[in-house]
């Protein structure tokens, strides 16, 4: 179990005013480390007079770090090396802290919803993400003219507060068909495939091998061996007035174009095209297909072995017992 | 209120035959300009012997324009400087005019549906949009071989009649998570966020701050403080036989995976997963949830304060009075 | 009718261990060729001692091939020229064969579902697709550090077993608004437009001009003059337990956000937002809107002239006779 305090060694990009646009943390040291990084934490700690410090003198670092840093290239007028310490898990105070916590999630040091990310949207600057790195939006027009005058290609891929995951971290054992669809801060477990129509927000992801062809909203986690079908929606807590945190258990199948506004248990199926909201009223059936009455969908939160369908003749949403366990074997996860 | 006539100063890319592939208009002068650009219009007008003229002699321009143009770099064998005048708003006659009108929309000089865009699809050439600029499709195979032989990266991002917005114009105060999803000709108001699953066609957009996670079809406009949920569809008039122009009022919420085939009033909600088509029959309820009978959805066009749901037990589409106003405060628009 | 045996002349990218990452086949020769390529097949055949051979001595090739190859640039330490022969259509044995068959589909030499693609997912390596070409995932961290140290842009666009189509083949007469959405192995007929929200998997595609704004799953084919609406889903056979191969006939319209789990006949409409699964029960109506009873959707597989809707008041899925033929004229296919 990882815990604070910790220190990240980071490469920061800045705008012309010296303000931080983003931070890349290739190395993080924990005070209470199982693998012996505790020494590194102490060494770095001695260099810090406040929680974020620029490293101007590489000789203060240990040899192993120096060679690592030299491989990162020389910081230039738009970048600098820093150490960033987070002593306890308080709300975010700086861009560097925000990026360090996004790294903690994507390195899988902490699971989604276990870190204090308060203030994230206020702290993070909106940035132009280009093939020439992050650029301050106040400087983008100048850069565009420069690149035209010098006949250099400048491509703005995104104008956003969050960058894409793989510009910082490439998780082992995953496929991401379109890397623009996964934000830094996503938590992707080994064996996960994110197809072209899939999307993973920050502070969200998969707890095991999973097939993601739909959208994982911020705060949502998907259990292992589950399949989020093409265009399937998981309701976020950021917009739409939804207050309950959505999750999907293990061995679940969300059909294509379906949607989910309640936390789903294990071994559940939501039929293709059906959107279950918290307010949906659902007729519940037992194993013998005897009706047990109508209840609110929220009462079925986290219940296992359910099959949600809309009766194609009565139009009513029903929850039946899912008799066949979902077959999500290796073949499925290999194939797509 | 902007109006014709106007002249655009443009940088045109051409194919080997000298035909125009695209045009970038960094500067537009109106005859009847509030801010004094009228002088510029007159100066440029004097240079034009027809509506589109190449500028071969920079000395004919005023000094301020020359320094501006030099910042654009030297036109080369594949590009040229032009002036393009549109005297009145007739149907499109040339690629340059088409691009100029797309710029007029994206600069927000004119709102969607206020310009004559007839002939757009006939006029615009299909182009390969690459990291090396626009390339004629008849020349693309040769370029691919050249780039392989010279070991130069050539990436074809799109093969389309329309380029992406941000290769021409970066609107102030917006976020666009994936810039490939917004076409030149989109009208994006300050405070708008277009998420990864959002899409904005030409001649379409937002009239105020809005959260766009669904698809804004050509001709569709979204009012301020509205939220188009993930994967939500707005029916276009280009395909599918739909003739009515769709729009969404202010303070509306289209739920995730919902869809809209009628113009929506202010302060309305369409439940997640529900598609309202013009032909849908809707049971109407008053404030006391007394049925007022069944009507066609088109009769509810532009009516305010409605909540559209599909009754989860009867399967019927209902329109209820939306009692709580949609809370789309600053937090929502900051957060996503 | 094309047939085996055939030989592809390919440019292979390898990792540091010499293993194949991908293969580009600019030229394919058939033994039984109508256009005289049979001679070429024989010439190449003489060079092969086994089914896959590296060409180390260009002088063994005929002059016309040499000049073609020189236009491809010099193979370097990460690439080599090969000949790959497939004598009969057996299951896949090598990466080169897999890529050759994907080319056969995208060159439209063979239609989807006519080639033996068994073993595809086991054979294909997971690769990082970057602006600097394909990179082995075991070498990606090193490449990232190198590019940082040398201040070279390295962008990982995709981590996947399949590359995007247009990095290999640009089909004539198509538009692909976002090229990251079409995999190598897609079969795109002239006149096809794939919009931003469209997607085409390998071994899938269009048999004529079509408007694709939804997702064509592996194994699915769309007939000419059909329109797959925005976000529309076609159920694949790879996941979700679906066993029936889905297809869409000619002159069909799948509405936005609709979905399909049965093969559709000609001149059919599925209403926007409606998902027809194989298990759906459908009330069938005749021309005079007299009910003919309720049947399973699978019984309507490949039936022509149907209009599928969900009755907006009863909630029942209905199949009515589609009286108006779908108007998918040239205008539609031009316009979007």
pLDDT at C236: 82
In this complex, do C312 and B128 lie within 8 Å of one another by their Cβ atoms? no
pLDDT in tens, C106-120: 999 999 999 999 999
Residue of C nearest to A325 (CA): C241
Residue of A nearest to B168 (CA): A144
From chain A, the residues in CB contact with B334 under 8 A are 121-122
What ipTM is given for this predicted complex?
0.94
Handedness of CA A140, A143, A144, A145 (dihedral sign): positive
Nearest to C175 among B126, B140, B273 (CB): B126
Q: How far is CA A175 from CA A203, B293, C20, in A?
A: 19, 52, 18
Q: Reply yes or no on whether the pLDDT at A66 is more than 70.
A: no
Burial A127-143 (b: 16+ CB within 10 A, else e): bbbbbebbbbbeebeeb
Nearest to B175 among A144, A159, A259 (CB): A159
d(CA C234, CA C198): 11
pLDDT in tens, A99-124: 999 999 999 999 999 999 999 999 99
CA-CA-CA-CA dihedral for B317, B319, B320, B323, to nearest 10: 120
d(CA B85, CA C319): 54
Handedness of CA A51, A57, A63, A67 (dihedral sign): positive
pLDDT at A220: 97
C213 included as an active-site residue: yes
pLDDT at A36: 63
Which candidate in B65, B197, B213, B250 is catalytic? B213
From chain B, the residues in CB contact with A153 under 8 A are 131-133
Which residues touch C15 (CB under 8 Å, ≥6 apart)?
A: C21, C78, C135, C136, C138, C139
Query: Closest Cα of chain C to A336: distance in Å?
Result: 6
From chain B, the residues in CB contact with C257 under 8 A are 231, 233, 257, 259, 275
pLDDT at C244: 82
Please list the residues that pair with B269 across neighbouring strands. Answer: B253, B307
Does the domain made of C6-122 have the CATH classification 3.20.20.80?
A: no
Query: C290 exposed, middle or buried (CB, 10 Å; 0-12, 13-18, 19+)?
Result: exposed
Nearest to C196 among B148, B199, B282 (CB): B199
Of A83, A130, A157, A197, which Cα lies nearest the Cα of B197? A197
Q: Which residue has the tokens 């070409």?
A: C133
Of C250, C241, C308, C315, which Cα lies nearest the Cα of C276? C308
In this complex, do C157 and A178 lie within 8 Å of one another by their Cβ atoms? yes
Nearest to B71 among A149, A160, A238 (CB): A149
d(CA A277, CA B274): 11
In this complex, do A131 and C126 lie within 8 Å of one another by their Cβ atoms? no
H or E element in which residue B99 lies: helix B95-106
Burial A152-173 (b: 16+ CB within 10 A, else e): eebbbbbbbbbbbbbbbbbbee
From chain A, the residues in CB contact with C231 under 8 A are 231, 257
Nearest to B312 among A121, A159, A281 (CB): A281
d(CA B119, CA B309): 39
**Residue pair B187/B111 in contact by the 8 Å Cβ criterion:** yes
The two beta strands, C20-30 and C6-14, are antiparallel
Which candidate in C96, C97, C197, C213 is catalytic? C213
Residue of A nearest to C313 (CA): A315
Q: Helical H runs in C224-320? A: none
**Residue pair B75/B81 in contact by the 8 Å Cβ criterion:** yes
Nearest to B257 among A155, A199, A257 (CB): A257
d(CA B293, CA B305): 18
pLDDT at C336: 59
**Band of residue B330 on the pLDDT scale cut at 50, 70, 90:** very low
Mutate which of B195, B275, B308 to disrupt the C interface (most C C-beta within 10 Å)? Answer: B275
Those residues of chain C that have pLDDT short of 70 are 35-37, 62-71, 73-75, 238-242, 325-336
In this complex, do C126 and A175 lie within 8 Å of one another by their Cβ atoms? yes
pLDDT in tens, A227-261: 999 999 999 875 545 578 999 999 999 999 999 99
d(CA C107, CA B87): 47
**Band of residue A149 on the pLDDT scale cut at 50, 70, 90:** confident
Question: Order of strands, edge to edge, in the sheet holding B52-54?
Answer: B20-30, B6-14, B79-86, B52-54
* Mean per-residue pLDDT over chain A, rounded: 91
From chain B, the residues in CB contact with A294 under 8 A are 313
Query: Closest Cα of chain C to B231: distance in Å?
Result: 7
Helix C63-71, helix B140-149: angle, nearest 10: 80
In this complex, do B332 and A238 lie within 8 Å of one another by their Cβ atoms? yes
Handedness of CA B322, B273, C198, A179 (dihedral sign): positive
d(CA C292, CA C288): 11
- The two tokens of residue C189 are 């007929």
pLDDT at C238: 58
Query: B245 exposed, middle or buried (CB, 10 Å; 0-12, 13-18, 19+)?
Result: middle
In this complex, do B181 and C196 lie within 8 Å of one another by their Cβ atoms? yes
pLDDT at B76: 73
- The two tokens of residue C169 are 């083949």
Mutate which of C73, C177, C315 to disrupt the B interface (most B C-beta within 10 Å)? Answer: C177
**Residue pair B145/C71 in contact by the 8 Å Cβ criterion:** yes
Of A12, A82, A22, which Cα lies nearest the Cα of A47? A82
* Mean per-residue pLDDT over chain B, rounded: 91
**Band of residue A222 on the pLDDT scale cut at 50, 70, 90:** very high
In this complex, do A148 and B71 lie within 8 Å of one another by their Cβ atoms? yes
From chain C, the residues in CB contact with A132 under 8 A are 153
From chain B, the residues in CB contact with A160 under 8 A are 175-177
Q: Which residue has the tokens 């293709």?
A: A272
pLDDT in tens, B260-281: 999 999 999 999 999 999 999 9
From chain C, the residues in CB contact with A332 under 8 A are 238-239
DSSP class per residue in A19-85: -EEEEEEEEEEESS-TTSTHHHHHHHHHH-SSSEEE---GGGS-HHHHHHHHTT----TTEEEEEEE
d(CA B282, CA B303): 13
CA-CA-CA-CA dihedral for C78, C81, C86, C90, to nearest 10: 0
The two beta strands, C79-86 and B156-160, are unpaired
d(CA A250, CA A226): 6
Q: Looking at the annotation, which residues of A are catalytic?
A: 213
Of A247, A13, A218, A3, which Cα lies nearest the Cα of A110? A3
Q: How far is CA B92 from CA A285, B98, B111, C51, in A?
A: 61, 6, 17, 56
Nearest to C73 among B148, B157, B215 (CB): B148
**Band of residue A151 on the pLDDT scale cut at 50, 70, 90:** confident
d(CA A145, CA A165): 29
Query: Closest Cα of chain C to A88: distance in Å?
Result: 30
Q: Which CATH class is domain C165-334?
A: mainly beta
d(CA A288, CA C263): 32
pLDDT in tens, B311-327: 999 999 999 999 876 45
Q: Reply yes or no on whether the pLDDT at B283 is more than 90.
A: yes
pLDDT at A325: 61
Q: Which CATH number fits domain B6-120: 3.40.50.720, 3.30.70.2010, 3.40.30.10, 3.40.228.10?
A: 3.30.70.2010
User: What are the domain boundaries of chain C?
Assistant: 6-122, 130-160, 165-334
Residue of B nearest to A283 (CA): B313
Which residues touch C49 (CB under 8 Å, ≥6 apart)?
A: none
**Residue pair A249/A222 in contact by the 8 Å Cβ criterion:** no
Mutate which of B192, B195, B230 to disrupt the A interface (most A C-beta within 10 Å)? Answer: B230
pLDDT at B334: 47
Nearest to A159 among B72, B73, B179 (CB): B179
For B159, the 3-state DSSP assignment is: strand
**Residue pair C98/C120 in contact by the 8 Å Cβ criterion:** yes
pLDDT at B128: 98
**Residue pair A300/B295 in contact by the 8 Å Cβ criterion:** no
- The two tokens of residue A82 are 């820093």
**Residue pair A21/A127 in contact by the 8 Å Cβ criterion:** yes
Neighbours of chain C (3+ CB pairs under 8 A): A, B
DSSP class per residue in A3-35: -S-EEEEEEEEE-TTS-EEEEEEEEEEESS-TT
Q: How many residue pairs from chains A and C have C-beta atoms closer than 8 A? A: 133
Kindly state the percentage of chain A with pLDDT values over 70.
90
Which residues touch A289 (CB under 8 Å, ≥6 apart)?
A: A320
DSSP class per residue in B51-79: SEEE---GGGS-HHHHHHHHTT----TTE
In this complex, do A272 and C235 lie within 8 Å of one another by their Cβ atoms? yes
Neighbours of chain B (3+ CB pairs under 8 A): A, C
d(CA C158, CA C202): 16
pLDDT at B149: 78
Handedness of CA B102, B196, C214, A259 (dihedral sign): negative
- The two tokens of residue A264 are 């789903």
Q: Helical H runs in chain C? A: 38-47, 63-71, 95-106, 120-123, 140-149, 330-334
Residue of C nearest to B316 (CA): C313
Query: Closest Cα of chain C to A32: distance in Å?
Result: 27
In this complex, do A175 and C282 lie within 8 Å of one another by their Cβ atoms? no
In this complex, do A259 and B272 lie within 8 Å of one another by their Cβ atoms? yes
pLDDT at B325: 61
Average pLDDT in the A263-286 region? 97
- The two tokens of residue C318 are 């209905």
Chain centre to alpha carbon of residue B261: 19
Torsional class of C225: left (φ above 0), alpha (ψ -120 to 50), beta (otherwise): left
Torsional class of A160: left (φ above 0), alpha (ψ -120 to 50), beta (otherwise): beta
In this complex, do C272 and B294 lie within 8 Å of one another by their Cβ atoms? no
From chain B, the residues in CB contact with C131 under 8 A are 131, 153, 155
Mutate which of B239, B273, B310 to disrupt the C interface (most C C-beta within 10 Å)? Answer: B239
**What angle (nearest 5°) sits at the alpha carbon of residue A228, between those of residues A99 and A324?**
140
d(CA C237, CA C112): 14
pLDDT in tens, A270-281: 999 999 999 999
- The two tokens of residue A277 are 């909201």
């Amino acid at each position: 179990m990882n815990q604070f305090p910790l220190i990240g060694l980071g490469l920061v990009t800045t705008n012309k005013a010296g303000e931080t646009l983003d931070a890349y943390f290739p190395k993080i040291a924990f005070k209470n480390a199982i693998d012996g990084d505790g020494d590194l934490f102490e060494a770095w700690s001695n260099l810090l007079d406040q929680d974020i410090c620029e490293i101007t003198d590489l000789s203060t670092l240990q040899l192993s770090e120096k060679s690592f840093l030299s491989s990162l290239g020389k910081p230039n007028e738009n970048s600098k090396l820093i150490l960033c310490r987070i002593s306890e898990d308080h709300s975010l105070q700086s861009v560097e802290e925000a990026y360090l916590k996004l790294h903690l999630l994507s390195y899988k040091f902490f699971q989604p919803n276990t870190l204090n990310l308060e203030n994230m949207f206020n702290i993070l600057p909106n940035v132009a993400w280009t093939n020439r790195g992050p650029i301050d939006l106040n400087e983008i027009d100048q850069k565009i003219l420069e690149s035209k005058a010098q006949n250099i290609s400048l491509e703005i891929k995104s104008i956003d507060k969050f960058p894409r995951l793989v510009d910082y971290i490439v998780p082992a054992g995953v496929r991401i068909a379109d890397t623009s669809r996964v934000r830094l801060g996503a938590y992707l477990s080994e064996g996960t495939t994110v197809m072209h129509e899939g999307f993973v927000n920050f502070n969200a992801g998969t707890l095991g091998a999973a097939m993601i062809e739909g959208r994982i909203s911020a705060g949502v986690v998907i259990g292992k061996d589950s399949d989020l079908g093409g265009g399937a929606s998981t309701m976020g807590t950021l917009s739409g007035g939804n207050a309950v945190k959505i999750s999907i258990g293990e061995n679940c199948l969300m059909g294509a174009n379906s949607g989910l506004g309640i936390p789903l248990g294990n071994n559940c199926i939501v039929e293709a095209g059906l959107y279950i909201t918290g307010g949906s009223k659902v007729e519940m059936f037992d194993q013998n297909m005897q009706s047990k009455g109508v209840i609110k969908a929220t009462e079925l939160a986290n219940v296992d072995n359910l099959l949600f369908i809309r009766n194609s003749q009565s139009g009513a949403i029903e929850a039946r017992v899912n008799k066949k366990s979902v077959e999500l074997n290796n073949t499925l996860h290999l194939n797509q």
